Amino acid sequence: MAGRKITFFALIALLIAAGCSDDEDPTTPKPPTGPFSEVLDAVKDNTLYEDSAGAFSNGGGQYIFAGTTDPLGGGEPSERRRAVIAFDADDGGIPMGATIDSVFLMLAMNKTKLLTARQITIHRLTKDWGEGTTSPPNLNEGQGEPADSGDATWIHTHYDTASWSTPGGDFVATSSASQTVAGPGTYIWGSTPQMVADVQMWLDDPSTDFGWIIIGDETTDTTAKRFGSRENNSILQQPEIVVYYTP
């Protein structure tokens, strides 16, 4: 984990050196606060592949996706992809009763068909969901694989015994954070007051800890961005959050 922590804190140091202020663009990460910090790895992640039957998933793959697909020259309609990800705020590293001061989400985007900058938002999920063992055999993983038992899909929270109230996931409409994602690289969401409120809620009441859904630009075709999942072979590609807190 040491290498990942150094990478993140180096990025934060650059932000501090740049003198980020409260009147900057809200997508710009702000410097950390709080005397203590904890790095949390994702405990589960998955991709919801738009499909009327909810038949596809990617619980065990190396990647997660957000955005829309290429319509293949007009021969097939574009489909949406949404990633779901969760972190265990009550994992023992952050003491119960602590005050969350700031939260930063770091994702590594490693492939996109177009380098066009797109807004990627995260929203707090309001229903629990599953990560099965599905792992697409193709290297890209963009089409997913037939869902395994317990997998989250476009229709199901847990395939195929429980469903979302709304296809595509149940989540708070107002985003917790937004970031502009263009070409491959590491991107940071946060810290925002809503991200802080989300993690504070998860710490105070672990039964509400369902994580975030990651939604790309769904207003046009071919906007999908591919990010490393927690199962990625490279530790530098795996998602993490850094939480600053006061005991």
Residue 90: is the preceding peptide bond cis (ω within 30°)? no
Element (H, E) at 90: none
Q: Give the Cβ contact number of residue 67 at 10 Å.
A: 27
- What predicted TM-score, i.e. pTM, was given to this entire model? 0.89
Contacts of 57 (CB under 8 A, 6+ apart): 46, 47, 48, 49, 132, 134, 144, 145, 146, 147, 148, 151, 152, 153, 159
| Token code pair at residue 110 | 């490693």
Q: Is the four-CA dihedral 69, 79, 178, 207 of positive or negative sign? A: negative
Note whether 68 and 223 are within 8 A (CB): yes
Summarised one tens digit per residue, pLDDT across range 12-70 is: 544 543 344 444 454 556 778 889 999 999 999 999 999 999 999 999 999 999 999 99
Mean pLDDT to the nearest integer, 89-113: 94
DSSP bridge pairs for 5: none
Top pLDDT among 2 and 199 is at: 199
Element (H, E) at 16: helix 2-17
Residue 32: C-alpha distances to residues 95, 114, 133 (Å): 18, 32, 36
Mean pLDDT to the nearest integer, 107-129: 97
Top pLDDT among 119 and 92 is at: 119
148 DSSP 8-state letter: P
pLDDT exceeds cutoff 80 at 3: no
pLDDT given at position 6: 41
Mean pLDDT to the nearest integer, 116-123: 97
When pLDDT is cut at 50, 70 and 90, the band that residue 1 belongs to is very low
Query: What is the average pLDDT value for the chain, to the nearest integer?
Result: 88
Summarised one tens digit per residue, pLDDT across range 192-242 is: 999 999 999 999 999 999 999 999 999 999 999 999 999 999 999 999 999
**By C-alpha distance, which of 43, 41, 46, 132 is closest to 82?**
46
pLDDT exceeds cutoff 80 at 11: no
Summarised one tens digit per residue, pLDDT across range 162-176 is: 999 999 999 999 999
pLDDT exceeds cutoff 90 at 72: no
Q: How far apart are alpha carbons 27 and 241 in whole angstroms?
A: 16
Residue carrying the six token digits 């202020």: 21
Indicate the length of the chain as a whole number.
247
Q: Is the four-CA dihedral 60, 61, 65, 71 of positive or negative sign? A: negative
| Token code pair at residue 187 | 């991107």
